[in-house]
Amino acid sequence: MVKDRAQETADALHAATVRLLRRAATADVGMDLDGPRASLLSVLVYGGPLPITRLAEIERVSPPAISKLVDALEAGKLVRRNRSQHDRRVVLVEPTAAGRRTLERGRLARVSLIAELLKHATPTELSTLERAARIIASRLE
């Protein structure tokens, strides 16, 4: 199969991204959360209050599975449930201040780990990576 340049670039980017995320995840031990809980907390911190059904869709798991994760995060005082002001039948899950702090500590640890990987990059390499990150982010919007 002949690959075009976009396909080859996508393949290389995918491989590097998977390895980078695995390496960055090693910094998560300081958050004291497993992957699914950290992911859910991230969705809530950056996505705002969301109902259980939407959280299940985003995380690609069943509503009962999300409910268990929310229960665990709630027990740790990292999230709370509140009734929607627009529709009292809907329960929204939102991060607490402690949840935001926990996630920010985790993000800082991941970013620090990645920065360490880039410590010996040249200014040109850093500019290239920054531009690539901006291009990808713009395509995801």
Q: Per-domain residue ranges for the chain? A: 5-140
pLDDT of 1 reads 55
The reported pLDDT for the residue numbered 88 is: 80
pTM for this prediction: 0.78
Q: What is the pLDDT of residue 62?
A: 95
pLDDT at 2: 56
User: What is the fold, at CATH topology level, of the domain defined by 5-140?
Assistant: Arc Repressor Mutant, subunit A (1.10.10)
User: Taking CA 69 as the corner, what is the angle to CA 16 and CA 41, rounded to the nearest 5 degrees?
Assistant: 55
The DSSP secondary structure of 112-124, one letter per residue, reads: HHHHHHTTT--HH
The pLDDT, as a whole number, for residue 26 is: 85
pLDDT string in tens for the chain (141-residue length): 557 999 999 999 999 999 998 998 888 877 788 888 999 999 999 998 999 999 999 999 999 999 999 999 999 999 999 987 888 888 899 999 999 999 999 999 999 999 999 999 999 999 999 999 999 999 998
Helix (H) or strand (E) holding 8: helix 5-25
**DSSP bridge partners of 20:** none
